[in-house]
């Protein structure tokens, strides 16, 4: 009789262990699914003009999307306008394809086309820069008088502090590399609320 009760309680214990094990596995799989959703990069942004704070492009055939990793204190999208120049910085922290795009335009006073024709480091000029991350290496590309780009500003709103537009460029790698000299940046778009001059 005692053995029967022992086996009954053993079966109950087995059932409880199985129940809690199943519950724990379900909890882990739910957490993993939520975690995956949290860290999934956003979709490629549309070319909006609402101050949505988005930036994207196709860089060497890869999607570039400026977005911030959860918990990161580093800003992934920064726009500034000081009544003379417009500066835009966007960072894509993806492991698959990481890149940073920088655009600086001097003399912005409205909508229209602006050429990126100078190298970084020349104040008062228009230039574009791409930094492509591959493993632990970084590769820098700059526009110049031959390897140019174009930014088309489609909304220029100094009341709501919104600047929107599109861009493309073919910057040259510095230092030059025989196997990878030019970066191809196409279908670029941005829609930002900028930081005004103080």
What SS3 class is residue 184? coil
pLDDT of residue 39 exceeding 70, the answer is no
Give the pLDDT confidence of 53-106 residue by residue, as tens digits.
Answer: 999 999 999 999 999 888 777 889 999 999 889 999 999 988 777 899 999 999
Q: What are 167's strand-pairing partners?
A: 151, 188
Q: What is the pLDDT of residue 179?
A: 64
Q: What is the pLDDT of residue 113?
A: 96
Q: In whole angstroms, give the CA distance from residue 171 to residue 183.
A: 6
**pTM for the predicted model, two decimal places:** 0.76
Q: What is the pLDDT of residue 38?
A: 55
Give the pLDDT confidence of 154-174 residue by residue, as tens digits.
Answer: 999 999 999 999 999 999 998
| Summary mean pLDDT of the chain | 81
84 phi/psi in degrees, rounded to 5: -130, -45
Q: What is the pLDDT of residue 124?
A: 65
Give one DSSP letter per residue of 51-120, joined into a string.
---EEEEEETTEEEE----TT--S-SEEEEE-SSEEEEEEEE--SSSEEEEEEEEES--SSEEEEE-B-T
């Amino acid at each position: 009789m005692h053995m029967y009760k022992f086996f009954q309680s053993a079966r109950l214990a087995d059932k409880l262990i199985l129940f809690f094990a199943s519950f724990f596995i379900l909890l882990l799989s739910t957490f993993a699914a939520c975690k995956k959703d949290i860290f999934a990069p956003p979709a490629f942004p549309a070319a909006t003009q609402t101050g949505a704070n988005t930036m994207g492009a196709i860089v060497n055939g890869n999607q570039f999307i400026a977005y911030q990793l959860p918990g990161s204190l580093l800003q992934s999208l920064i726009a500034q306008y000081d009544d003379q120049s417009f500066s835009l910085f966007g960072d894509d922290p993806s492991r698959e394809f990481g890149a940073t795009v920088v655009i600086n335009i001097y003399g912005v006073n409205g909508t229209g086309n602006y050429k990126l024709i100078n190298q970084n480091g020349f104040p008062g000029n228009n230039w574009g820069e791409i930094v492509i991350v591959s493993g632990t290496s970084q590769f820098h590309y700059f526009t110049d008088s031959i390897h140019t780009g174009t930014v088309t500003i489609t909304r220029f709103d100094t009341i709501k502090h919104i600047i929107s537009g599109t861009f493309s460029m073919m910057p040259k790698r510095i230092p030059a590399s025989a196997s990878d000299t030019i970066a191809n940046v196409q279908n670029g778009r941005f829609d930002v609320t900028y930081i005004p001059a103080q």
